[in-house]
Amino acid sequence: MNRFISKMILMAAVTYPCLAQDKGRSEISASYSILPSENTFGNIWLGFSDKGPHGNRDLTLRRGAFFAGYKYFVTDRIAVGAATGFNGHAHESNFRYTDFTGLEAQTLTVAGEVTWIYLKRPAIKLYATAGLGFYTMRASVDSYHSATTTNGATAQITPIGIRFGKKLGVFTELGYGYKGILNTGFSIKF
């Protein structure tokens, strides 16, 4: 019996590292984020302050954003990549604007990202992601007034992400920043 258990442990130890080898592989993803905060740093500042330069401010919640991303696994547990997203119904939260109820704003976000996989099983991965980039926001009160363009730095911290699947998978991430509080989608590894 001890010999059988020893063989099983040896076989598991030898074959387990061969499962889900990701080093040198790539992954592309498409996702939808809920409650994105493109102006991450400005929104954090507004959260700590009661007033902007134009008086009291409300941070209204609007629709989410669509993202596309690419990752390259430099090791089995660390990936570097980039993400770009478009939010057609962004919320202008820069200090120089008042909160117009009819504000139309679109945002384009581009960021570099690093992902660390802290729990890895053949078809399940738990991971954390950090990203830093910039956004460009075009905002206008309505179609009859001139638009303003705002650029700024943005960030994303995702302490909890889970991916199900091997080559084709689905994922959900919880964090704060340009990808929102909840980001979910699908990805393909190749």
- Six token digits for residue 183: 């980001």
Q: What is the largest distance, in Å, between two alpha-carbon atoms of the chain?
A: 82
CA of 28: how far to CAs of 82, 169, 189, in Å?
Answer: 10, 11, 7
d(CA 111, CA 105): 19
Mean pLDDT, the chain, integer: 80
In a 3-state reduction of DSSP, which class is residue 61? coil
Residue 95 pLDDT > 60: no
Which helix (H) or strand (E) covers residue 59, if one does?
none
d(CA 66, CA 86): 6
Q: What is the pLDDT of residue 22?
A: 82
Q: Of the spans 41-55, 131-145, 149-163, which averages the highest pLDDT? A: 149-163
From start to end of the chain, where are the E strands?
26-34, 51-52, 55-56, 65-73, 78-87, 104-120, 124-140, 148-165, 168-177, 182-189
List the chain domain ranges.
23-189
- pTM across the whole model: 0.74
Give the rounded distance of the alpha carbon of 168 from its chain centre: 19
Which tens digit of pLDDT belongs to each residue from 149-189?
Answer: 888 899 999 999 999 999 999 999 999 989 988 999 999 99
Which tens digit of pLDDT belongs to each residue from 4-38?
Answer: 777 667 666 554 554 557 889 999 999 999 888 77
Phi, psi of 2 (to 5 degrees): -65, -35
Task: Spell out the CATH class of 23-189.
Answer: mainly beta
